[in-house]
Amino acid sequence: MLEINMTGKASVIVDEANTAATVGSGSLRVFATPSLAALIEKAACNCLLGHLEEGTTSVGTVLDIKHMAATPVGMKAEATVTLVEIDGRRLVFDVTVCDEKEKISEGVHERFIVNSDRFMTKVNSKLD
């Protein structure tokens, strides 16, 4: 069962694969904003593990974040999300991401609960 104030976390060590230079979001060897976004979504998914009905999943729909500080290769970044609103199938999370020295990001992330089979049927219909 979903409850307000549930939390989820995810962490990653910054390496060459998740730098701005590698993913194409910049030229520097620092934690890329797209990689930061993926870490936040992973934390939200971790928060929901074991709490959704069988046959359902969640999909990210909104990500409104500030990336306020750079994180170098070799340092750990950890995202923490807190479920702050449940509006039917819409879930809203407050987001904070810190590296080993400081807060590097904050914002809001929204996800929707969907029926997995119906969702994939609709998506795959684009191929017809």
pTM for the full predicted model: 0.97
Architecture (CATH level 2) of domain 7-127: Roll (3.10)
Q: What is the pLDDT of residue 9?
A: 98
**43 SS3 class:** helix
Could you read off the pLDDT tens digit of each residue along the chain, which spans 128 residues?
A: 999 999 999 999 999 999 999 999 999 999 999 999 999 999 999 999 999 999 999 999 999 999 999 999 999 999 999 999 999 999 999 999 999 999 999 999 999 999 999 999 999 999 99
Q: What is the pLDDT of residue 55?
A: 98
Cα Rg, the chain, nearest whole Å: 16
Instruction: Report how far residue 49's alpha carbon sits from residue 45's, in angstroms, rounded to the nearest whole number.
Output: 6
Instruction: Report how far residue 49's alpha carbon sits from residue 16's, in angstroms, rounded to the nearest whole number.
Output: 29
DSSP structure class, residue 2: -
